[in-house]
Amino acid sequence: MTVTYVIEGSEVTGLERFWQVIGEAVNGPGGYFGRNFDAFADCLGGGMGTPDDGDFVFEWRDHSLSAQALGHEETARYLRQSLSRVHPTNRPAVQRRLDDALAGRGPTLFDLLVDALTSGTAPGTLRLM
């Protein structure tokens, strides 16, 4: 039997709130399902609340509201924070991504999350509504 996890897009006001919303969707109030992209990918791999057989879907309701909240402005904020923490050899690449986000170009956090959800799970696992 397929388990459906609902992501309420209207509750996603930024990246930190996304981590809370998806954690609670999968594991209940206060639940955890990653707090960064690497941890999120690990959680999508199984064993962190989703069925071991992989028979689950994420239904992302009002995803257009999330897309706005996780757009270029939030992407730039995230990259600005990341810039000081990344290895010095990665700073030029992160700076280019930041420059693109500030100019309204390139993938957004929403795009990256959708990519993680579609590439890290079985086909059809993500339903954008």
- Please tell me the predicted confidence (pLDDT) of residue 54: 82
Nearest C-alpha neighbor of 66 from the set 123, 118, 113, 117: 113
Give dist(CA 3, CA 105) in Å, integer: 36
The domain in which residue 14 lies consists of 1-71+108-129
The sign of the dihedral angle between the CA atoms of 97, 101, 105, 111 is positive
> In this structure, are 9 and 60 located in the same domain?
yes
Q: Domain count of the chain?
A: 2
- Please tell me the predicted confidence (pLDDT) of residue 96: 98
Give dist(CA 74, CA 70) in Å, integer: 5
**pTM across the whole model:** 0.95
Give dist(CA 76, CA 65) in Å, integer: 18
Q: What is the pLDDT of residues 34-55, one digit of tens each?
A: 999 999 999 998 889 998 888 8
- Please tell me the predicted confidence (pLDDT) of residue 40: 96
- Please tell me the predicted confidence (pLDDT) of residue 122: 86
User: Which positions of the chain have pLDDT values less than 50?
Assistant: none
Burial class (CB in 10 A: 0-12, 13-18, 19+), 78: buried
- Please tell me the predicted confidence (pLDDT) of residue 6: 98
> In this structure, are 62 and 90 located in the same domain?
no
> In this structure, are 61 and 5 located in the same domain?
yes
- Please tell me the predicted confidence (pLDDT) of residue 95: 98
> In this structure, are 60 and 120 located in the same domain?
yes
- Please tell me the predicted confidence (pLDDT) of residue 119: 92
- Please tell me the predicted confidence (pLDDT) of residue 5: 97
